[in-house]
Amino acid sequence: MKKDNILIIGANGQIGSVLTQTLRSIYGHNNVIASDIRPKAEETGPFELINVLDRDRLNEVVEKYQINQIYHLAAILSAKGELNPLGTWDINMNGLFNILELAREKNIKKVFYPSSIAVFGPTTPPNQTPQDTVLTPTTVYGMSKVAGEYWTNYYFLKYGIDVRSVRYPGIIGYQSMPGGGTTDYAVDIFHEALKQQKFTSFLSEETELPMIYMEDAIRGTIELMNAPLEQVKIKTSYNLAAMSFTPKQIAAEIKKHIPSFEMTYAPDYRQAIADSWPNSIDDRIAREHWGWKEAFGLPEMVHDMLKNLR
Ligand code: AKB
């Protein structure tokens, strides 16, 4: 059997940096090639500089390492994307097209493409949002993810490219920092709670959003990638859920560990984005098809975050 040689695009990001380490522990250090647009301060394994918009460079790296699996994580997220709408569309869409074409030309066995709860919008049912529902995103990031989901499905139907995807909720982890998202407050809060015992949330206290702990997000991603093809019946993207909470609820949970912690609220332009997203997600189809199940709820996540950050 041909061994797996994996390329991670966007490996220095919030998910990429943790996923790289986990995949290296499974597939072997030298079989997982990290890549990003900038080098990392200390690189711990094979690394290549790649701009996902550079087709020739992508070809070169895929040939050099005989890559047969790609995790394509490079994207501009919801909040940052609104500051440069056309530039965000360019990176998110043309980056994906480069990966899909590469997969077609180089017989890449499997591709992972992250989607997001940002595919939903103000007219989507907000509670226990179903798998198949109204997709009316109001951010460029969300629009690019809706289009991306349909393009990956198209490449499967037309060329048999096995692209797998989940709609990530906000991801919370101690290992890395998010950048440019609307759910980023739920990571920042831990760092500020430990440093200053206070935090100002850019979302209002009752803004409920779906979230997931990093451990669960990484495990779920790898489980989906390793599930038999016949179980992965959805080739757009799977709803994925673990917990939902408001800034007020996470603050109360942190206060149980740091009694002096104080939260204030100063909603900014990200409030409108959060208001357009669901409160909670129905992910029963992921559970039925490939056995998804989270291990962390809000109390377990807060406990583990504080333990590790301390
Ligand atoms: C964001 O807030 O933009 C991301 C996401 C939910 O996809 N974390």
Q: What is the pLDDT of residues 52-73, one digit of tens each?
A: 999 999 999 999 999 999 999 9
* pLDDT band (50, 70, 90) for residue 46: very high
Cα-to-chain-centroid distance, residue 186: 14
- Whether residue 7 is predicted with pLDDT greater than 90 in this model: the reply is yes
CB atoms within 10 A of CB 65: 17
List the residue whose alpha carbon is closest to atom 6 of ligand 1: 170
What is the pTM for the complete model shown?
0.97
Of 180, 152, 176, which Cα lies nearest the Cα of 21?
Answer: 176
CA distances from 156 to 31, 151, 235 (A): 25, 9, 7
Of 159, 156, 190, which Cα lies nearest the Cα of 173?
Answer: 190
Instruction: Determine whether the shortest distance from the Cβ of 116 to ligand 1 is under 6 A.
Output: yes
C-alpha to C-alpha distance for 131 and 145, rounded to whole angstroms: 15
pLDDT of residue 2: 62
Listed by start position, the domains of the chain span 6-169+214-239, 170-211+242-309
Digit-coded pLDDT (tens) for 283-292: 999 999 999 9
pLDDT of residue 44: 79
Instruction: Determine whether the shortest distance from the Cβ of 77 to ligand 1 is under 6 A.
Output: yes
User: Mean pLDDT for the chain?
Assistant: 97
Instruction: Determine whether the shortest distance from the Cβ of 182 to ligand 1 is under 6 A.
Output: yes
Across the range 158-184, mean pLDDT stands at 97
* pLDDT band (50, 70, 90) for residue 41: confident
Q: Are 153 and 288 in contact (CB under 8 A)?
A: no
Phi first, then psi: give them for residue 238, nearest 5 degrees.
Answer: -85, 135
Digit-coded pLDDT (tens) for 228-243: 999 999 999 999 999 9
CATH architecture of 6-169+214-239: 3-Layer(aba) Sandwich (3.40)
List the residue whose alpha carbon is closest to atom 7 of ligand 1: 116
Mark out the alpha helices in the chain (DSSP H runs): 14-27, 55-65, 78-81, 85-89, 95-105, 140-159, 185-196, 214-226, 247-257, 270-276, 284-290, 298-309
C-alpha to C-alpha distance for 133 and 120, rounded to whole angstroms: 8
Digit-coded pLDDT (tens) for 182-234: 999 999 999 999 999 999 999 999 999 999 999 999 999 999 999 999 999 99
Nearest-atom index, ligand 1, CA of 141: 3
Nearest-atom index, ligand 1, CA of 114: 7
Instruction: Determine whether the shortest distance from the Cβ of 183 to ligand 1 is under 6 A.
Output: yes
Q: Which one of 73, 115, 116, 146 would you pick to mutate in the ligand 1 pocket, going by the greatest count of ligand atoms within 8 A of its CB?
A: 116
Nearest-atom index, ligand 1, CA of 116: 7
Nearest-atom index, ligand 1, CA of 182: 2
Amino acid 52 reads V
Instruction: Determine whether the shortest distance from the Cβ of 88 to ligand 1 is under 6 A.
Output: no
CATH topology of domain 170-211+242-309: UDP-galactose 4-epimerase; domain 1 (3.90.25)
